[in-house]
């Protein structure tokens, strides 16, 4: 069952308070799509609008050709996994998983077959007669997933399903979720505030802030070519450095604090004009070599050896601080207090308009531009 979810100009209001003003999306068949954003950005609100637990104040929601705005939640054929799992504490594992099937008044042997299938798929069939309070967090999570999938839903919705688990289980469960989703091929909408988790599981991610979508794209596109400054700071770590585009000998160059001048080859042709800009330079985009004699001048405040990489914390001459990540080397001669000259991987860095609203380098792929302008990509 391949279902695509289209949302046109969705509006969500609570009283006079507008949470979502105008939001459009197109989630492709069988895609693992993640809504990612800081708390309060409206991601859970949007998910619950798709599920039918929040009213829709404006716009249209479609599952394929069917408008679902006025369809009861129980008739939307969705599987939902809740943040607190919402396992029925008074029912055994097996009865929890069979609950949705029983509501469909299926034949007994079909219910049993289907229940067993998903208990086995989630590797919890040995606990089928247990009560939920005697399960660990990870096992409860598996029950919740089995229960949601057992009804063979059109779409799977997951609301921060891993946030109640400890770090190790979280990593384990996210690969379980990803693998199951791949195997079943169900269209999945996943909500999280954990960007690493989002990168690990998603086909595409929508970054949300203040009830609006900032960027829709693959994890790679979003990380490497974020649509705006918010996206670049929200996904992964980055150093925000003020700079200026200046015409130097007939060529537009980027001048960084301390007068260090670099050429940014990826700058869009039409944006090459003199102006103030703001740069996002990720920690690994600095090149730190002890013997370099020219570059962005900085002083090392602290370094942390983490095996594969070493993290350096530095400050520039203007007092701004930055973080740098380098592959660890055998002979480490950069100590606390050393003065260093940083070079920059100019192909990788991103340069934004002064207000951070737009990326000035080429290669930004933001599907949301198409949705906003009403071009339906999924068809």
Partner 1 sequence: MAKNKKLDIWKLMSIFVLVIYGLFLIYPLFMLLRQAIIGPDGFTFEYFMKFFSKQYYFETVFNSFKVSIAATLITLVIGVPLAYFYNMYELKGKTFLQVLIILCSMSAPFIGAYAWIQLLGRSGIVSQFIYSLFNFRLPSIYGFNGILLVLSLQLFPLVFLLVSGALKNIDNSLLEASKNMGCSGAKRFFTVTIPLCMPTILAATLLVFMRAFADFGTPLLIGEGYKTFPVTIYQAYLGEVGTDHSFGAAISVIAIVITALIFFAQRYANSKFQFTMNALHPVERKAIHGVKNVLVHLYCYIVVLVAFTPQLFVIYTSFQNTSGKLFVPGFSLDSYREAFDKVPNAIPNTFIIGIIALIFVIFLAIIIAYLVVRRSNRMNRAIDTLSMVPYIIPGSVVGIALVISFNKGPIVLTGTAVIMIIALIIRRIPYTIRSSVATLQQIPMSIEEAAISLGSSKMEAFFKVTVPMMKNGILSGAVLSWVTIITELSTAIILYNTKTITLTMSVYSYVSRGSYGIAAAFATILTVTTIISLFIFMKVTGSKEISL
The residues of the shown chain that bind partner 1, judged by CB under 8 A, are: 11, 51-53, 55-59, 70, 72-76, 78-80, 82-84, 86-90, 99-100, 103-104, 144, 147-148, 151, 157
- Burial profile 285-323: b = 16 or more Cβ within 10 angstroms, e = fewer: bbebeeeeeebbbbebeebeeeeeebbbbbebeeeeebb
Minimum CB separation of residue 157 from partner 1 in Å reads: 8
Residue 35, token pair as written in the block:
């809504």
Of the two residues 69 and 309, which places its CB atom closer to partner 1 in the complex? 69
The two counts, helices (H) then strands (E), for the chain are: 9, 20
Minimum CB separation of residue 364 from partner 1 in Å reads: 33
Of the two residues 56 and 245, which places its CB atom closer to partner 1 in the complex? 56
Minimum CB separation of residue 53 from partner 1 in Å reads: 5
The rounded distance, in Å, linking the Cα atoms of 14 and 57 is: 9
The rounded distance, in Å, linking the Cα atoms of 184 and 167 is: 26
Instruction: Count Cβ atoms within 10 A of the Cβ of residue 265 and give its class: 0-12 exposed, 13-18 middle, 19 or more buried.
Output: exposed
The rounded distance, in Å, linking the Cα atoms of 285 and 193 is: 25
Minimum CB separation of residue 278 from partner 1 in Å reads: 39
Of the two residues 100 and 295, which places its CB atom closer to partner 1 in the complex? 100
Of the two residues 27 and 361, which places its CB atom closer to partner 1 in the complex? 27
Of the two residues 44 and 195, which places its CB atom closer to partner 1 in the complex? 44
Kind of pairing, strands 17-27 and 78-81? Answer: unpaired
Mapping DSSP to helix (H, G, I), strand (E, B) and coil, where does residue 309 land?
strand
Minimum CB separation of residue 350 from partner 1 in Å reads: 39
């Amino acid at each position: 069952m391949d279902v695509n979810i289209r949302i046109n100009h969705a509006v969500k209001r609570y009283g006079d308070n507008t949470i979502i003003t105008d939001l459009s999306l197109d989630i492709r068949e069988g895609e693992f799509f993640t809504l990612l954003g800081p708390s309060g950005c409206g991601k859970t609100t949007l998910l619950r609008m798709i599920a039918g637990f929040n009213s829709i104040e404006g716009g249209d929601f479609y599952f394929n050709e069917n408008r679902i705005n006025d369809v009861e939640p129980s008739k939307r054929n969705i599987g939902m996994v809740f943040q607190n799992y919402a396992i029925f504490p008074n029912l055994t594992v097996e009865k929890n998983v069979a609950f949705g099937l029983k509501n469909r008044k299926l034949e007994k042997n079909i219910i049993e077959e289907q229940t067993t299938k998903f208990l086995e798929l989630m590797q919890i069939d040995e606990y089928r007669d247990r009560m939920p309070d005697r399960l660990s967090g990870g096992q409860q999570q598996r029950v919740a997933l089995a229960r949601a999938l057992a009804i063979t839903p059109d779409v799977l919705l997951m609301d921060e399903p891993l946030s109640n688990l400890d770090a190790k289980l979280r990593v384990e469960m996210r690969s379980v979720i990803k693998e199951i989703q791949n195997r079943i091929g169900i269209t999945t909408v996943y909500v999280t505030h954990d960007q690493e988790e989002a990168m690990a599981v998603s086909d595409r991610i929508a970054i949300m802030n203040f009830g609006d979508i900032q960027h829709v794209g693959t994890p790679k596109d979003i990380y490497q070519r974020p649509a705006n400054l918010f996206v670049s700071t929200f996904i992964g770590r980055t150093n925000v450095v003020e700079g200026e585009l200046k015409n130097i000998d007939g060529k537009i160059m980027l001048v960084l604090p301390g007068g260090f001048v670099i050429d940014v080859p990826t700058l869009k042709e039409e944006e090459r004009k003199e102006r103030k800009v703001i740069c996002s330079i990720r920690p690994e985009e600095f090149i730190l070599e002890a013997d370099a004699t020219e570059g962005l001048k900085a002083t090392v405040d602290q370094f942390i050896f983490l095996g594969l990489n070493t993290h350096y914390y530095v400050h520039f001459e203007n007092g701004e601080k930055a973080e740098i990540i380098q592959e660890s080397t055998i002979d480490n001669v950069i100590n606390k207090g050393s003065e260093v000259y940083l070079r920059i991987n100019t192909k990788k860095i991103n340069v934004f308009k002064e207000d951070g609203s737009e990326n000035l380098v080429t290669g930004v792929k933001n599907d949301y531009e198409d949705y906003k302008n009403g071009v339906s990509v999924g068809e």
